[in-house]
């Protein structure tokens, strides 16, 4: 009996040791892909920022949100987004297996790769040194040794600075900011609490609109890969294979390019001076007309941010604006268009806004039904500038050249061809200032993006939040939950 009891104790001890080792090593008998499918949800941890994930008026949005949403749809599961308010928290959630994937605009580093499995690269970015125009502009790492530098804690930029400190500039020092969003660094620059900030090129391109006096001093390091990281110490073989195949296909079939264009395309083409002027007008002039713009937008069932962006592009929110060509008012309507819309006084801000909203809605209605949002809106905005006939000519050219006439990113490349005789001579409606139309649309998209982001209280989500009823555009086949 004693021997049997001793044997049981030995067996219990062995089991205890194995169990303890498994707990320490993170043993997981179930494949992570199978686990996600059996539980019916993909849990993604991300950062709250304009380039990754945030809550807009109509629900969750952002590049990483849309991309992981497509992945969840393909896996046949729901998407659950969790937010991290600094990078340490983000990787902690991944290590604790509170999330399956970290999708947050993260670069591939040796240290991270040694700890966390990762996907193939799905984009690239460049670390940049940003400063305030008018102040001293550093042009090399050696110039940074006497400057107050801010960088996000736990970011890949901290590793880069340590490497530079060791190999090039021993006197290099910096302050690590315990946040998840680059905007916090740019805010410190704006307040004069730092001389330079180290940020990623993609994030600065999007957020520079909020800080038009800030510029890139120089690229700190070479281009780096952006990847998704997976929970460590588990069997991710199937999941990584699935993700990599998914990303490769999105890159090859144009979906990735379309997502980038949708979320970041508007950041191109607006000058720093224009962005600065817009920011001033947004603070000083927009409050005078915001209530009326919102009221008109509600009447015509459109996003007030879009109507406001259109009005700014047309007139800089000036109800008495007049152009040399005779278009007048806040929405800069021509006489024939105003007559058609029933606008008696183009300088009456109420009539002008309603006329512009009605005109855009009519243009959208007259476009082919197969055009989807947001391309449908961008096409209608182009037609607002040059007319439906010229837009159709550009779409025909697009199709002739083997691209998609229903995608704004393809059509916008052909609109300028309407100014070249070898192209417009073969069109139905002839010459048009197509490049001007492209500039108008891209500017409106840019202003719209700024207005949307500024309208989000504190630029932060309000956890916990259930949003089963919110669906990203183009993703209609999976149930979404956000906590």
Q: How far is CA 324 from the centre of its chain?
A: 37
Phi first, then psi, for residue 428 (nearest 5°) are -75, -40
Does residue 314 have an active-site annotation? Answer: yes
User: Residue holding tokens 């410190």?
Assistant: 188
Q: What is the DSSP letter of 133?
A: B
Specify the 3-state DSSP secondary structure of 102. strand
Q: What is the DSSP letter of 269?
A: S
Contact 470, 58 (CB under 8 A): yes
End-to-end CA distance of the chain: 55
Q: What is the per-residue burial (b if ≥16 Cβ within 10 Å, else e) of 218-240?
A: eebbeebbbbbbbbebbbbeebb
Preceding peptide of 374 cis, ω within 30°: yes
Query: Which residues make Cβ contacts (< 8 Å) with residue 356, sequence separation at least 6?
Result: 307, 310, 311, 314, 330, 331, 333
**How many helices (DSSP H) and strands (DSSP E) are in the chain?**
20, 13
Phi-psi category of residue 342: left, alpha or beta, with phi > 0 → left and psi -120 to 50 → alpha: left
Q: What is the DSSP letter of 135?
A: B
Options 314, 392, 420, 468, the catalytic residue: 314
Specify the 3-state DSSP secondary structure of 130. strand
For the annotated catalytic residues, the residue numbers are 314
């Amino acid at each position: 009996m004693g021997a049997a009891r001793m044997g049981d104790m030995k067996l219990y001890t062995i089991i205890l040791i194995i169990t303890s080792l498994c707990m320490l090593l993170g043993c997981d008998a179930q494949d992570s892909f199978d686990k996600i499918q059996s539980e019916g949800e993909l849990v993604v941890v991300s950062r709250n920022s304009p380039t990754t994930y945030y809550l807009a008026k109509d629900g969750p949005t952002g590049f990483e949100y849309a991309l992981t949403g497509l992945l969840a749809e393909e896996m046949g599961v729901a998407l659950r987004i969790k937010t991290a308010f600094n990078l340490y928290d983000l990787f902690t959630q991944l290590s604790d297996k509170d999330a399956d994937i970290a999708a947050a605009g993260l670069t591939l580093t040796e240290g991270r790769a040694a700890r966390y499995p990762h996907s193939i690269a799905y984009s690239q970015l460049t670390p940049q040194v940003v400063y305030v125009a008018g102040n001293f502009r550093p042009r090399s790492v050696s110039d940074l040794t006497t400057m107050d530098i801010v960088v996000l804690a736990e970011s890949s930029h901290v590793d880069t600075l340590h490497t530079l400190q060791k190999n090039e500039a021993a006197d290099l020092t910096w302050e690590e900011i315990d946040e998840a969003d680059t905007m916090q660094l740019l805010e410190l620059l704006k307040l004069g609490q730092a001389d330079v900030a180290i940020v990623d090129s993609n994030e600065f391109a999007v957020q520079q609109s909020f800080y038009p006096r800030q510029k890139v001093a120089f690229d700190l390091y070479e281009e780096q890969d952006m990847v998704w990281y997976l929970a460590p110490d588990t069997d991710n073989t199937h999941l990584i294979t699935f993700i990599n195949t998914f990303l490769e296909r999105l890159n090859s079939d144009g979906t990735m390019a379309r997502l980038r264009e949708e979320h970041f395309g508007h950041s191109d083409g607006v000058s720093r001076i224009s962005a600065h002027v817009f920011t001033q007008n947004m603070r000083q002039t927009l409050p005078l007309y915001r209530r009326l713009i919102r009221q008109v937008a509600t009447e015509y069932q459109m996003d007030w941010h879009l109507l406001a962006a259109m009005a700014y592009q047309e007139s800089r929110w000036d109800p008495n604006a007049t152009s040399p060509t005779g278009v007048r008012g806040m929405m800069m309507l021509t006489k024939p268009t105003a007559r058609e819309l029933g606008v008696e006084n183009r300088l009456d801000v109420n009539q002008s806004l309603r006329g512009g909203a009605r005109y855009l809605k009519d243009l959208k209605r007259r476009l082919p039904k197969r055009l989807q949002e947001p391309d449908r809106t961008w096409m209608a905005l182009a037609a607002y500038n040059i007319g439906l006939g010229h837009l159709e000519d550009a779409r025909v050219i697009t199709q002739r050249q083997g691209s998609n006439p229903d995608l704004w990113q393809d059509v916008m490349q052909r609109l300028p061809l309407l100014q070249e005789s070898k192209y417009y001579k073969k069109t139905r409606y002839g010459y048009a200032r197509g490049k001007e139309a492209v500039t108008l649309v891209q500017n409106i998209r840019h202003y719209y993006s700024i207005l949307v982001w500024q309208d989000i209280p504190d630029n932060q989500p309000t956890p916990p939040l259930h949003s089963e009823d919110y669906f990203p555009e183009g993703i209609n086949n999976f149930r979404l939950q956000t906590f």
